[in-house]
Structure 1
Amino acid sequence: MFIDLIAGARPNFMKIAPIIDAIKKEKEQGTDIDFRLVHTGQHYDKNMSGSFFEQLGIPAPDENLGAGGGTQAEQTAAIMTGYEKLLMEKPSNLCLVVGDVTSTMACAITAQKMHIPVAHVEAGIRSGDWKMPEEINRLATDAVTNYFFTTSDVANANLKKSGVEDERIFFVGNVMIDTLLKHRPRFQKPTVWDKVRLEEGNYIVMTLHRPSNVDEEETLKSLMDEIIVNTQELPLVFPVHPRTAKILKNLGISHERLHMIEPLGYLEFNYLVERSKAVITDSGGITEETTVMGIPCMTLRNSTERPETVDIGTNELLGVNPKAIQPALEKLFAGEWKKGEIPELWDGSTSGRIVKHLIQLLS
């Protein structure tokens, strides 16, 4: 059996890496299984792409579709055109996509139109917010998926509600946690640690990149002002997404406690998160990592596709009103933040379960 593994953007690489490891392990044990790693080129900046391949031990892509930048429609068209050409030259037995980025949706649709079955890792997660491009990607991908690998009972319920039969849903856990637990002993101290003399448990990590938070200058300024004013004397370490960097430059925001740095590699970023007092973010994936590492997390969004990080984990959904930041930080500094627990099957063995299911399905 010959499986295409699709990776296109930073969140994909963390999810693909352990699946590659699991396939290689099965192959070494004599199973007739092989893969082709297809990098769509959606993230083409080295900080957002290349370093992840090196740090996570991902082999060089077998194919790079070179989609590059542009609008979402332009990227989608480039990915679909490139992947269709690849499948025409050498079809695979299955297309495995992960997550909810443009590459996920584009390759799933292309494969299905070429009569190649699709497996979706992280299927069934929903935010209910159609203003998020990722939500459209999730809906479109799951609409053409054959086999659904899920992270939670909530995702299972979402799929069943949409009419997916039980026999096509496989509750396997969270593959991104496989990567986190495998590489946790290898986390690397970033240069900012010594440069600004950070101390464990005595600083806050920030990430912001959602269009609703960063595209409007007034909104971003209000969020930044509230965070700076209400974080007492703690340093704020802010690896800045390229989208956000352009807006911040126009605003001229600066503060002696605010340390805006380039995007970090996986090992360096999680070194910071693991040792922080808390994380303020609008990312979905980071809320999963903070839950497993037991770090308080504040999410500046009105909805989340990962409700288990709120219901079970260490995450709280603050919304997008800047005034919600102060009471959340007061709760943190008062030592009243919830401890949280780790959700079911977030145990580091998800990728092995996925590959076992694939072998049974394709045999």
Structure 2
Amino acid sequence: MKITIIAGARPNFMKIAPIIHAIQKVKNNGSKMSYRLIHTGQHYDKRMSDTFFEELNIPQPDSNLECGGGTQAEQTAAIMIAFEKELLDNPSDLVLVVGDVTSTMACSIVAKKLQIKVAHVEAGIRSNDRAMPEEINRLVTDSITDYYFTTSEIANQNLRNEGVAEEKIFFVGNVMIDTLLKNQERFAKPSFFVEKGLQKNNYIVLTMHRPANVDQADNLISLMDEIIANSQSLPIIFPIHPRTAKIFNDLDIAAPNLHIVEPLGYLEFNYLVQNAKAVITDSGGITEETTVMGVPCITLRDNTERPETVNVGTNELIGTNPKMIEPTLEKLFRNDWKKGGIPEKWDGKAASRIVATLLNINSKNREF
């Protein structure tokens, strides 16, 4: 069974790592399953991609399509053209895509047009907000996928509601958490931790990159003003995304407790999160990691495709109105935050379930 695995952007790398390790394990035990790793190059900043291969012990890609930059349409087209050539030169039985980035959608379309089966890891998650590019990517990918690997019963039901047959849905858990649990003991203290006098549970981690929060200068200033004013002077550590930096660096935003740092690698960033008082973010993946680590998380979004982090975990969805920050931080500082729990099957075994399922499908149906 020849599998082509796609990685394109930072979140993908955490998701493919345990799958690659699970394939290597069954291969060492005599299975004929093999893989070819393709990096589309969607994220081309070394800080945003290459370090993840090094830290997570992922082999260097068999091919880098180098499709970084451009508009959504330009990037989608570039990935499709390059990936079609890749598949024609290197035939595959199955294309495995993860998450919801442009590469996920583009490579799925190419595979299906070449009559190659597609497996989607993290299928079925929905924000129900079609203004988000990621939502379009999810909907298109799941409309043509053959095997749906899901993180929650909510995702399962979303797929059923869209007409996906039950036998194509496999509730396996969350591969992001596989990576988190495997590497937790390896988390590395950033060099600035001591320099800035940081202490466990006595600082806030901030990340922002979504257009609704960072593309309009006035809105970004308002958000930052509220966060700074209501942080009780705790250090705010802001690893700034390149997209955000382009706008932020032209604004006069500064405070004694605000520390702008470069994007961090996986091990350093999660050390920072694990020891934080709280995280303020507009990321989806970080809400999953904070849930498992039991760290309070404040999400600056009007919707989430990961409702289990709110319903079960430590995440609170407060919207994009800056005025919601003050009462939320007051709740945090009076120690009134929910304890949270860990969603079903977020146990570090999702990738093993995925590989076992693919082997079972092949043995029963000889589909690959």
Match in the other structure for 1:311: 311
Match in the other structure for 2:26: 26
Percent of residue pairs bearing the same amino acid type: 66
Following superposition, the deviation at residue 195 of structure 1 comes to 1.6
Match in the other structure for 1:127: 127
Q: Post-superposition, which runs of at least 4 consecutive aligned residues in structure 1 deviate over 3 A?
A: none
Match in the other structure for 1:114: 114
Rounded to whole Å, the distance in 2 between the matches of 1:284 and 1:240 is 16
Match in the other structure for 2:366: none
Give CA-to-partner distance per residue, 1:144-179, whole Å, 9 cap, x none. 100000000000000000000000000000000000
Rounded to whole Å, the distance in 2 between the matches of 1:362 and 1:112 is 18
Partner of 1:250: helix, strand, or coil? coil
Partner of 1:356: helix, strand, or coil? helix
The answer to whether 1:142 aligns with 2:153 is no
Following superposition, the deviation at residue 362 of structure 1 comes to 2.6
Match in the other structure for 1:5: 5
Match in the other structure for 1:91: 91
Rounded to whole Å, the distance in 1 between the matches of 2:71 and 2:261 is 26
The answer to whether 1:213 aligns with 2:235 is no
Rounded to whole Å, the distance in 2 between the matches of 1:152 and 1:134 is 18
Partner of 2:250: helix, strand, or coil? helix
Following superposition, the deviation at residue 91 of structure 1 comes to 1.2
Partner of 1:6: helix, strand, or coil? strand
Partner of 1:38: helix, strand, or coil? strand
Match in the other structure for 1:177: 177
Rounded to whole Å, the distance in 1 between the matches of 2:109 and 2:44 is 22
Unaligned runs of 5+ in 2: 364-368
Following superposition, the deviation at residue 246 of structure 1 comes to 1.0
Match in the other structure for 1:320: 320
Match in the other structure for 2:234: 234
Rounded to whole Å, the distance in 2 between the matches of 1:11 and 1:237 is 20
Match in the other structure for 2:52: 52
Partner of 2:95: helix, strand, or coil? strand
Match in the other structure for 2:190: 190
Give CA-to-partner distance per residue, 1:239-264, whole Å, 9 cap, x none. 00001001111112111100001100
Following superposition, the deviation at residue 191 of structure 1 comes to 1.4
Rounded to whole Å, the distance in 2 between the matches of 1:159 and 1:28 is 34
Give CA-to-partner distance per residue, 1:8-49, whole Å, 9 cap, x none. 000000000000000000000001100000000000110000
- 1:354 maps to amino acid: I
Match in the other structure for 2:360: 360
Match in the other structure for 2:334: 334
Match in the other structure for 1:287: 287
Match in the other structure for 1:204: 204
Rounded to whole Å, the distance in 2 between the matches of 1:332 and 1:229 is 14
Partner of 1:254: helix, strand, or coil? coil
Rounded to whole Å, the distance in 1 between the matches of 2:252 and 2:6 is 38
Rounded to whole Å, the distance in 1 between the matches of 2:316 and 2:110 is 37
- 1:26 maps to amino acid: V
Following superposition, the deviation at residue 88 of structure 1 comes to 1.1
Rounded to whole Å, the distance in 2 between the matches of 1:71 and 1:119 is 26
Rounded to whole Å, the distance in 2 between the matches of 1:134 and 1:169 is 21
Rounded to whole Å, the distance in 2 between the matches of 1:31 and 1:301 is 44
Rounded to whole Å, the distance in 2 between the matches of 1:80 and 1:360 is 30
Rounded to whole Å, the distance in 1 between the matches of 2:125 and 2:192 is 35
Give CA-to-partner distance per residue, 1:183-219, whole Å, 9 cap, x none. 0000000112012110000000000000110000011
Following superposition, the deviation at residue 116 of structure 1 comes to 0.3
Match in the other structure for 2:165: 165
Rounded to whole Å, the distance in 2 between the matches of 1:15 and 1:345 is 15
Rounded to whole Å, the distance in 2 between the matches of 1:106 and 1:262 is 30
Following superposition, the deviation at residue 97 of structure 1 comes to 0.2
Following superposition, the deviation at residue 89 of structure 1 comes to 1.3
Match in the other structure for 2:224: 224
Match in the other structure for 1:344: 344
Partner of 2:179: helix, strand, or coil? helix
Rounded to whole Å, the distance in 1 between the matches of 2:182 and 2:209 is 27
Match in the other structure for 2:70: 70
Rounded to whole Å, the distance in 2 between the matches of 1:328 and 1:160 is 35
Match in the other structure for 2:262: 262
Report which stretch shifted further, 250-259 or 99-108.
250-259
Rounded to whole Å, the distance in 2 between the matches of 1:107 and 1:273 is 32
Following superposition, the deviation at residue 121 of structure 1 comes to 0.2
Following superposition, the deviation at residue 275 of structure 1 comes to 0.1
Following superposition, the deviation at residue 68 of structure 1 comes to 1.5
Following superposition, the deviation at residue 297 of structure 1 comes to 0.2
Rounded to whole Å, the distance in 1 between the matches of 2:90 and 2:230 is 56
Rounded to whole Å, the distance in 2 between the matches of 1:74 and 1:271 is 36
Partner of 1:120: helix, strand, or coil? strand
Rounded to whole Å, the distance in 2 between the matches of 1:361 and 1:213 is 43
Rounded to whole Å, the distance in 1 between the matches of 2:246 and 2:309 is 30
- Taking structure 1 as the reference length, what is the TM-score of the superposition? 0.99
Report which stretch shifted further, 253-262 or 177-186.
253-262
